[in-house]
A and B are shown apart, each in its own frame.
Chain A
Amino acid sequence: MKFLCYSILILLICCFQIGCKKQQNNTLVVHLLSEPDDMHPTNGASAIRAEINLYTNLSLLRVNYKTGELLPCLAKALPAVSSDGLSYTYEIQDGLSWDDKSHITAADIAFTTKASKCLFTNNPGLKPYWENIKEIKIDGANKQKFTIVMKRPYILNTWFWTDFPIIQEGFYDKNKTLAKYTEAQLTDSTFLKTKADIKQWAEEFNSPKYYTDPNFLSGAGPYKITKWDKGVSITLEKKKNHWSENCQENWYCQANADKIILKLNTNNASAVLELKNGIMDISGMIDYASFTELSHDENFTKNYTLKLADTYNYTYVAMNMKPDGQKHQKLFNDVLVRKAMALLTPYEQINKTLYENHNKRVVCPISPNKIDFNTDLKPVKYNVKKAKELLTQAGWADTDNDQILDKLIDGKKVKFEFAINFISGSKVWEDLAKQLAESMNKANIFAMLNPLDYNGFFSSVTSHEFDMSIGAWQSSATPEDFSQLWSSTAWKGNGLNFTGFGTPQSDALIDSINVSVDEQKRIALSKRFQKLVYDEQPYIFLFTQTRRIIVNKRWDNLEVYTEYPGVLLNTLKLKD
């Protein structure tokens, strides 16, 4: 028995030493809230992939995080644009090379474009982004120089390159199959049917190993994925003898930590414990309440820096403006009702209870942190009395004394009852929905909660089978293209325009914004568009989100940005 006791004691001491082992070496351990489904550079679909690609891949252009402007990355400088605004000529920097020391050339850019555009490759969600590229002309004399010809002028013709990593032709297409064909041929389905070699290449390119196997993930960035333990962690290691070693001025070629480990932890509480234990170095995913709590904890602030950073993201509550009247009643067709809903939202209470008063209000479809935000628009304030007046004005009254408003619509008595859809599994959404429902109850409106899984939620909003649904949009410093969310074609085509907003006038405005390459003109038009949406109130606009960034003090050189992902992990330096 004594022996047993002693051995247990010894084991516990061992545990103590291993369990509390703080990170000391030049390894950055980062909190990851959800795992990417895959890491395929061009076919991949999951959002978290983009953050990792910042360090493992390079793009033609990148974002300058400090100014929010374009920054040439692979390109020597920003492109020379032709007078008709359709041809962009780039030149690739000298001395850049892939992992096998071959140079990055214009052929790689052309290959990336072709691989993304080819109908056989499995990137259905991303194809529309590449649609506007007509062809890429490689300069005969200079392998580094090329011209991209676009189909039509568009504000994102340069910006869109920041989102897509450039991949190596010599790695993904050793036989140079795609180089034989033109962009037009690769998007022609009748032509492709006859070409067995393209099909064979695409099958290889789409095969699972290129999605998850670290040995088959290749990129030009200073880091490389060396290990991917599914459901546990992803390890990035600094490449040895990489060309970027001598380059320090631009963020994309810096690599200070030897290793970056992205550790998956889906539970907020245990992530907090890991931070407190010093196991985790950096997290941007801790929830608002825990962030506040940690910032008041003196023991914690001794070792960690806590910083808040703005984002371009915002949360909203969408209302169905054009329901079918059968499954979903025509509740929100009237702009007065939508305004009443906005007045019934307890903004201050939500900001206090769920966001610790850290979040700024949004007023219109872009974040107030953007340069083109229309400052003339004033946020709607919580006001039950005014909301009730608007509802009466819109013809809603409780005629049968059952505490629920009703109204005759198309000759049928309709009660003001509906469901609030939100994605299940997130406590914040659920609490938000509860607060909305309770607040609406005060105006005699009955709202049910309807948690849905991600796919169910998404198909309910895109097929317009919802009354009200809570969501969030992620955005970036890129100029806003409103057509995706607000054009009437996006509503008809079951796209991301959930509510049914859109008039010929607004569509025309969106179109003219999209071709305004001149920045000042674009901003003026964008402000007009924001006013248009503000007046229609298709969403209840809630808040911009705030990033809660916590970094261990053993890391230096911390800067936080509004642009995703808030912190650039590769620029953090270990303190001496």
Chain B
Amino acid sequence: MLGYVLKRILWFVPTLFAVTIIGFILLANAPGDPVNLLSNGAKASGNIEEQKTFWRKKLGLDLPLFYFSITTLSEPDTLYKVYDEQQLKIIKKDLKENGGYKNYIPKIIWYGYHNQYHQWLFGGANSKGIIRGDFGISYIKKEPVISIIKDKLIWSVFFSVVSIILAYMISIPIGIKLAEKPNSKSSKITQVTLFLLYSMPSFFVGILLLMLFANPDVISIFPPSGIKPIEGYADGASIFSKFIDSFPYMILPMICYTYSSLAFISKLTATSINEQLSLDYIKTARAKGLSENNIIWKHALKNSALPLITVFSAVFPGIIGGSVIIESIFTIPGMGLETVKAIISKDYPIVIAVITLSSVLTIFSYLLADILYAWVDPRIRNK
């Protein structure tokens, strides 16, 4: 088992690298020079060049982009040291016009590990690198990105994990009911309802829920925004009392997170249990006189767990992505809301950090699914 897990973890390392490269490409291609943004305030005091060099060094932008670069023979090796966009444009134009045949001969320059990507990933003189949780500096707030999203990450992870658990807790019993009496009226109604819910866009449901259940003009049961009482938690409150305090705030968002995956999981439970029920061992169990409940919950469900685990890895990325919508409707101070804010103010490091982090979370959820898979079905780990 341990060997299998290790092998899976090793297998995920290249994927993680690829994800970081995608994140880095996005960051590097974001329009605008962050140095200009960061040294904006220095305009009035006059030491703008000093500020610019400071930030450029701090962000590592004075380094080449990647380990190597493919350019034309006419381009000098140290072109990356020209920072000014206008100047760079002029130089490039000049090269294009006067390069002649050299413009059509490829050249590979090797920079070694003193490059932006390496520094971004593993850290360098001024940063610790994303593998140690340093995602750089926010262009707008000028604070380390990780200190901005650290607390927010917790809420997003909390909501996605709890909503997945909830979705399973609700839809497995429903799925079993559906499998037991596939043709009864109640199960047909359930199926249709679940299908309707499945097609509902979450922003629509979210707004409707707020309009209906947090509105004194209709029914006002739930608080309309935020995630904790206005005064905050009492000092030194235990996790349980915090949970009780936050409970009413969680219900509407939780419904939004959960409802759409119900149809999927319950349908799958129903079909895989149906498959199991037609197998011989169930018949033997029935012949032995075991109760129907016992048969389904103890035997059939255990053996139909495999597809349910697969669903886990399909649902998780959707929920993480969906947090962008749901958090901005219910103003939950989580990662999704922060992403929307960052995108509006073009604060790219935060956006990239969120993407990279949620990808890592997703990869870990796959890993978890794989391990669970192997744990449930020994055949896989021996393969």
- Determine if A124 is an interface residue (Cβ-Cβ < 8 Å): yes
Interface residues of A in 211-252 (CB under 8 A from B): 227, 229-233, 235
In the bound complex, CA of A270 to CA of B214 (Å): 9
Q: Is the CB of B230 within 8 A of A273?
A: no
Please pick, from B45, B151, B222, B245, the residue contacting A230 in the complex, using a CB distance under 8 A. B151
In the complex, the chain B residue whose C-beta lies closest to that of A273 is: B224
- Determine if B43 is an interface residue (Cβ-Cβ < 8 Å): yes
Given known A-B contacts A230-B333, A276-B217, A455-B140, A270 and B225 have beta carbons under 8 A apart: yes
Q: Is the CB of A125 within 8 A of B230?
A: no
Pick from A9-17, A77-85, A379-387 the stretch touching chain B.
A9-17
Q: Is the CB of B346 within 8 A of A494?
A: no
Interface centre among B217, B226, B328 (most CB of A within 10 A): B226
Please pick, from A11, A229, A274, A456, the residue contacting B232 in the complex, using a CB distance under 8 A. A229
- Determine if B190 is an interface residue (Cβ-Cβ < 8 Å): no
B37: shortest Cβ distance to chain A, in Å?
Answer: 6
Q: Is the CB of B225 within 8 A of A273?
A: yes
Q: Is the CB of B230 within 8 A of A29?
A: yes
Pick from A259-267, A413-421, A518-526 the stretch touching chain B.
A259-267
Q: Is the CB of B333 within 8 A of A232?
A: yes
Given known A-B contacts A270-B331, A277-B216, A455-B37, A232 and B226 have beta carbons under 8 A apart: yes
Q: Please, what's the 1-or-0 string for A291-307, where 1 marks a CB less than 8 Å from any CB in chain B?
A: 00000000100000000
Q: Is the CB of A208 within 8 A of B143?
A: yes
Interface residues of B in 5-57 (CB under 8 A from A): 32, 36-37, 40-45, 51
In the complex, the chain A residue whose C-beta lies closest to that of B248 is: A15
Chain B residues with CB below 8 A from A455, complex form: 32, 37, 40, 139-140, 345-346
In the bound complex, CA of A324 to CA of B344 (Å): 29
Chain A residues with CB below 8 A from B226, complex form: 232, 263, 265
- Determine if B124 is an interface residue (Cβ-Cβ < 8 Å): no
Chain B residues with CB below 8 A from A227, complex form: 232
Interface residues of A in 119-134 (CB under 8 A from B): 119, 124-125, 127-128
Chain B residues with CB below 8 A from A456, complex form: 32, 346
Given known A-B contacts A269-B210, A425-B344, A455-B346, A127 and B45 have beta carbons under 8 A apart: yes
Given known A-B contacts A127-B45, A453-B345, A455-B37, A20 and B247 have beta carbons under 8 A apart: no
Chain B residues with CB below 8 A from A266, complex form: 331
Q: Please, what's the 1-or-0 string for B222-266, where 1 marks a CB less than 8 Å from any CB in chain A?
A: 111111111110000000000001011001000000000000000
Interface of A is mostly: mixed
Q: Is the CB of A261 within 8 A of B231?
A: yes
Chain A residues with CB below 8 A from B229, complex form: 18
Interface residues of A in 424-454 (CB under 8 A from B): 424-425, 453-454
A290: shortest Cβ distance to chain B, in Å?
Answer: 13
Chain A residues with CB below 8 A from B329, complex form: 267
In the bound complex, CA of A279 to CA of B228 (Å): 12
In the bound complex, CA of A37 to CA of B32 (Å): 22
In the bound complex, CA of A455 to CA of B43 (Å): 14
Chain B residues with CB below 8 A from A503, complex form: none
A113: shortest Cβ distance to chain B, in Å?
Answer: 16
In the bound complex, CA of A230 to CA of B337 (Å): 13
In the bound complex, CA of A265 to CA of B210 (Å): 15
- Determine if A45 is an interface residue (Cβ-Cβ < 8 Å): yes
Q: Is the CB of B41 within 8 A of A274?
A: no
- Determine if A27 is an interface residue (Cβ-Cβ < 8 Å): yes
In the bound complex, CA of A26 to CA of B37 (Å): 43
Given known A-B contacts A263-B230, A269-B210, A453-B346, A277 and B224 have beta carbons under 8 A apart: yes
Q: Please, what's the 1-or-0 string for A484-500, where 1 marks a CB less than 8 Å from any CB in chain B?
A: 00000000001000000
Q: Is the CB of B251 within 8 A of A267?
A: no
Chain B residues with CB below 8 A from A299, complex form: 216
Please pick, from A37, A208, A279, the residue contacting B230 in the complex, using a CB distance under 8 A. A279
Q: Is the CB of A15 within 8 A of B41?
A: no
- Determine if B152 is an interface residue (Cβ-Cβ < 8 Å): yes
Q: Is the CB of A270 within 8 A of B224?
A: yes
Q: Is the CB of B222 within 8 A of A15?
A: yes
Interface of B is mostly: loop
Q: Is the CB of B40 within 8 A of A235?
A: no
Chain B residues with CB below 8 A from A16, complex form: 221
Q: Is the CB of A124 within 8 A of B231?
A: no
- Determine if B288 is an interface residue (Cβ-Cβ < 8 Å): no
Chain A residues with CB below 8 A from B383, complex form: none
B298: shortest Cβ distance to chain A, in Å?
Answer: 20
Q: Is the CB of B345 within 8 A of A454?
A: yes
Interface residues of B in 129-160 (CB under 8 A from A): 139-141, 143, 148, 151-152
B1: shortest Cβ distance to chain A, in Å?
Answer: 36
In the complex, the chain A residue whose C-beta lies closest to that of B251 is: A15
In the complex, the chain B residue whose C-beta lies closest to that of A15 is: B248
In the bound complex, CA of A214 to CA of B345 (Å): 26
Chain A residues with CB below 8 A from B345, complex form: 453-455
Chain A residues with CB below 8 A from B40, complex form: 455, 458-459
Please pick, from B42, B152, B225, B346, the residue contacting A274 in the complex, using a CB distance under 8 A. B225
Q: Is the CB of B210 within 8 A of A270?
A: yes
Chain B residues with CB below 8 A from A395, complex form: none
Q: Please, what's the 1-or-0 string for A529-544, where 1 marks a CB less than 8 Å from any CB in chain B?
A: 0000000000000000
Q: Is the CB of B230 within 8 A of A19?
A: no
Q: Is the CB of B215 within 8 A of A276?
A: yes
- Determine if B69 is an interface residue (Cβ-Cβ < 8 Å): no
Q: Is the CB of B333 within 8 A of A231?
A: yes
In the complex, the chain B residue whose C-beta lies closest to that of A17 is: B248
Q: Is the CB of A277 within 8 A of B214?
A: yes
Q: Is the CB of A14 within 8 A of B247?
A: yes
B299: shortest Cβ distance to chain A, in Å?
Answer: 23
Q: Is the CB of A124 within 8 A of B43?
A: yes
Chain B residues with CB below 8 A from A269, complex form: 210
- Determine if B220 is an interface residue (Cβ-Cβ < 8 Å): yes
Q: Please, what's the 1-or-0 string for A120-158, where 1 marks a CB less than 8 Å from any CB in chain B?
A: 000011011000000000000000000000000000000
Chain B residues with CB below 8 A from A11, complex form: 247
Q: Is the CB of A18 within 8 A of B248?
A: yes
Please pick, from B36, B220, B230, the residue contacting A261 in the complex, using a CB distance under 8 A. B230
In the complex, the chain B residue whose C-beta lies closest to that of A299 is: B216
Interface centre among A19, A23, A128, A274 (most CB of B within 10 A): A19
In the bound complex, CA of A263 to CA of B344 (Å): 22
In the bound complex, CA of A208 to CA of B330 (Å): 30
Chain B residues with CB below 8 A from A125, complex form: 41, 44
Please pick, from A19, A27, A270, A424, the residue contacting B248 in the complex, using a CB distance under 8 A. A19
In the complex, the chain A residue whose C-beta lies closest to that of B222 is: A19
In the complex, the chain B residue whose C-beta lies closest to that of A280 is: B230
Question: Apart from A14-B248, A19-B248, A232-B333, what 16 extra A-B contacts exist at CB < 8 Å?
Answer: A18-B247, A19-B223, A29-B230, A37-B141, A124-B41, A124-B44, A128-B44, A230-B333, A231-B337, A267-B328, A270-B224, A274-B225, A276-B217, A277-B223, A456-B32, A459-B36
A-B contacts, 22 of them at CB < 8 A, read A15-B221, A16-B221, A19-B221, A20-B220, A23-B230, A37-B141, A45-B41, A119-B45, A124-B41, A125-B44, A127-B45, A208-B143, A230-B148, A233-B230, A265-B225, A276-B217, A277-B216, A277-B220, A424-B344, A455-B140, A458-B40, A459-B36
